[in-house]
A = this chain, B = another copy of it.
Amino acid sequence: MDVISIGETMVLFTPEAPGQLRYSRNYSSKIAGAETNTLIGLSKLGHRTGWIGQVGADEFGAFILSTVRGEGVDTSQVLKNEKAPTGVFFKELLNEDNVRIQYYRKGSAASFIAPDQVSEDYLAKAQYLYLTGITPALSESCKEAVFYAIEAAKRLGKTIVFDPNIRHKLWGDEEARKTLLAIVEKVDIMLPGVAEGEFLFGTKNVPKMAEHLHKRGVKTVVMKLGKKGAYLSTEFEQKFIPGFKVSKVVDPVGAGDGFSAGFLSGLLDGLSLEESVKRACAVGAMVITVSGDIEGLPDRERLDDFMRASTTAERVSR
């Protein structure tokens, strides 16, 4: 096992066409979950991954399980909850930079994830524990499970990678800040966005955010800067790494999860931090050219094509 993660995956309903949801009569369903997005991204690139989660003992749970398992992620640690439904949500896309979400996830199956579901034997098999700031926001037991997993991973000497991924709809600012900072104290690598850095430390200055994180013990910081690329900061190096150009943004959601997958994939392949960040930017860019969170995640061949060809022109192969 290369990477293990914990979190909720839901069924996402997207209207057939952009516009106010009230006029939509047709929706398509996909699975969506920050953690499984990243695990699937890694899996498509050939890495071995495992997911700790819960789904309802209903058809939506079956849909999620077969999709995640089908992409090659180990689902042996996923429970089917007989008493709580699988969470669902709806996405309204007015245009590429105006997205609204309506959740039906309160009391969902995944909110019942708890420490006793986290097996230390299972964690022992992995190299990395990947966490996001969504899971601790789902419920008290979820928060406890995250901290339990962190402690266990530290005991086992695993590297912990953390994407704060703040969802303001899920908890109050106060609680979010307090909890996320408590996690920050314990992780090795952190992959925040700029708005998240500002939320946590009140500064818009990217290098200063990184310093704040270093002070709290994070060894490696990779700030996601959207189209501009990323900022890498460690004890030894601080540098801006440019992003990849994309002709048309189809669906902005999922870029961060792809970024994480690309970054971890680089580390697993033994690339340098800088090369890993470059790969992270590439995967993030590829994800947003396609509708859906996992549909744009590349396999090896496509990733190589994209990174090679992002300077060259036409690629029609007949």
Whether the Cβ atoms of B69 and A167 lie closer than 8 Å is no
Residues of B contacting A88 in the complex (Cβ-Cβ under 8 angstroms): 88, 104
Residues of B contacting A289 in the complex (Cβ-Cβ under 8 angstroms): 18, 94-95
Whether the Cβ atoms of B168 and A318 lie closer than 8 Å is yes
**A65–B69 CA distance with the chains assembled, in angstroms:** 11
Shortest C-beta distance, A247 to chain B (Å), equals 6
**A247–B252 CA distance with the chains assembled, in angstroms:** 14
> Is A311 in the interface zone, CB < 8 Å from B?
no
**A302–B20 CA distance with the chains assembled, in angstroms:** 10
Q: A58-B102, A69-B70, A99-B315 are in contact. Are A25 and B21 (CB under 8 A)?
A: no
Shortest C-beta distance, A294 to chain B (Å), equals 8
Proximity string of chain A (48-86) to chain B, C-beta cutoff 8 Å, 1 when within and 0 when not:
000000000011101101111111100000000000010
Q: A70-B70, A296-B19 are in contact. Are A318 and B167 (CB under 8 A)?
A: yes
Contact of A27 among B26, B63, B69 (CB under 8 A): B26
Proximity string of chain A (212-236) to chain B, C-beta cutoff 8 Å, 1 when within and 0 when not:
0000000000000000000000000
**A250–B22 CA distance with the chains assembled, in angstroms:** 18
Shortest C-beta distance, A303 to chain B (Å), equals 12
Within 8 A of B (CB), among A97-130: 97-102, 104, 106-107
Proximity string of chain A (15-32) to chain B, C-beta cutoff 8 Å, 1 when within and 0 when not:
001111111111111100
Q: A289-B94, A316-B253 are in contact. Are A20 and B59 (CB under 8 A)?
A: yes
Shortest C-beta distance, A48 to chain B (Å), equals 13
**A26–B24 CA distance with the chains assembled, in angstroms:** 12
**A130–B105 CA distance with the chains assembled, in angstroms:** 33
Whether the Cβ atoms of B59 and A315 lie closer than 8 Å is no
Shortest C-beta distance, A244 to chain B (Å), equals 13
**A247–B98 CA distance with the chains assembled, in angstroms:** 11
> Is A155 in the interface zone, CB < 8 Å from B?
no
Residues of B contacting A85 in the complex (Cβ-Cβ under 8 angstroms): 102, 104
Q: Which 3 A-B pairs have the closest CB atoms?
A: A70-B70, A21-B59, A66-B70
What 13 new A-B contacts, CB under 8 Å, besides A62-B299, A66-B72?
A: A20-B62, A22-B60, A23-B295, A24-B29, A25-B29, A59-B102, A70-B70, A70-B71, A85-B102, A94-B289, A96-B248, A100-B317, A101-B317
* 18 contacts across the A-B interface (CB closer than 8 A): A18-B289, A19-B290, A19-B295, A20-B290, A21-B59, A22-B62, A22-B66, A23-B292, A26-B28, A60-B90, A65-B70, A66-B71, A68-B70, A99-B316, A100-B317, A104-B104, A106-B107, A168-B318
